[in-house]
Amino acid sequence: MIRLPKPGRRVVVRYLLPSGQATDALGTLVSVDAQTVVVEARRGTVRIAGDTIVAAKEVPPSPPRR
């Protein structure tokens, strides 16, 4: 699995959908275990299978919403 920061950090995780297309989850890293990564994004909670992740990194805080 890709190395991830500690839960509570803001991250972007790129992962593969069943179709093979890549997509991103951007938000707060909630949890990481051997099979699943959970990200709380603006659109809701995203559960990502660990073996579908192709890249991940910590990102700066989001700008304030207007």
Q: Parse the chain into domains and list their residue ranges.
A: 10-58
The per-residue pLDDT for range 3-52, each reduced to its tens digit, is: 899 999 999 999 999 999 999 999 999 999 989 999 999 999 999 999 99
So what's the pLDDT on residue 34? 86
**Region 10-58: CATH code:** 2.30.30.100
Instruction: Provide the 3-class DSSP secondary structure of residue 3.
Output: coil
So what's the pLDDT on residue 8? 96
Single pTM value for the model = 0.90
Determine phi and psi for 7, rounding to 5 degrees: -55, 150
Separation of alpha carbons 14 and 26, rounded Å:
9
Separation of alpha carbons 42 and 26, rounded Å:
8
